[in-house]
Every structure is written in structure tokens, then in C-alpha cells.
Structure 1
Amino acid sequence: MFTSGIVVFLSAVLVLAKLPRRWLLRLLHYSLAVDLAVSAIVLALHFGTFSGVMAATFAGLLTSLATSAAKRAFGHIQGNLYFPGWLTLDVSGRA
């Protein structure tokens, strides 16, 4: 169950990691909505067995911990303002 939850969580992390920085930082502003959406989607996908629901619940919990940690580490964008975290990312859009 926990291994399946970790695999589901890592797949969500890989999808979020492929987003452009500005989009990711904008999503981190809505971290609760991201947590609820990911949890609802993985629960809907894995509904039907006890182990599937437990794996989805564990993945949702890990996602919540990861978004909270990422918001503190990298900050978030609200509107056009960047609120940096412990690490400041270049969000100027220049390469």
C-alpha cells in the first residue's frame, strides 16, 4: 500500500516538475486546491479496493506535505508578485 502510494505521489511530482517555473509558483499559491485536486483524482482512479484507497490516501498526504514544503522552499506567485521562499528562483522569463 505504502509503496503504491509513493509511486502515485512520485508520478504527480514528475508531472508538476515538468511545469514552467512561473506556472508551478502560481500553483503553489493555491496549494490547498492542488492538494484537494490531486487527492480527489487519485482516489477516483484507485477506488474499488482497500489497498487502492489507502495508496491514494497516502499519495494525497505526501502531496500535501510536498506542496507545503515547496511553498516554503521556493515561495509562490500571487498576481504579479513573487514571494520568495528560502530559495529565490529566477522568474524573470529571460533565459
Structure 2
Amino acid sequence: MSIADVFDVGEGDTVADAWLTTVNLLDMLEHAHGVEGLYDFSQARDKIAKVYAVAEAHSMDSKNNKCACGLSDAEHAILKRKVLTFFRLQVSNLKRFIV
């Protein structure tokens, strides 16, 4: 198994799982030699934090807590899919540095 295989965001992952995978890969690469200056880690961290804050505000991983924002269940499902796609794309983008 390669290191790239360890970092993956799957269909069955929760938003928290996807966030953790993304942040762990970002941390690992940020401290790797030879990657400095090739990627704006600070900007990536800010975007990841903003997207995760949206997920938390909408209680995406909680089945018991309902969001009071006024979105329908279908709209919440679409939003969750978009959040997971964002994390999947971030991981794919970061994997370019380890493959």
C-alpha cells in the first residue's frame, strides 16, 4: 500500500472523516522538505476551515440535531455532497506532491 492510498475520501465517509483526512495530508506535506513554496498551505487551510465551518453549522454529520437554517432535507443532502466533493478534490490536489 502506498502513502497515497492511505489518504482517500470515500463515498461512505462522514464530513469529519473527510476533513481529518484532508488536514492530515496537508500537515504532512506542509512539513515535508521540497514542497515549500510550491503550494499555498495557508490559503488551503483557510478554505478548508471555512468549508468545515459550514458543515458544522448545518450539523451535517449529526442525525439527531436538525439544522434550523430553512434548507430542505434534499438541499442539505446536496450541500453535504458538495462539501465532500470539495474535500475529495483537495486530497486529490495534494496527492500530486506524494505520487
Please indicate, yes or no, whether the TM-score normalized by the shorter chain is above 0.5. no
Return the structure number with greater relative CO, CA threshold 8 A, min gap 6: 2
Larger relative strand fraction: 1
* TM-score normalized with structure 1 length: 0.42
Q: Would you tell me which structure has more helix in proportion to its own residues?
A: 1
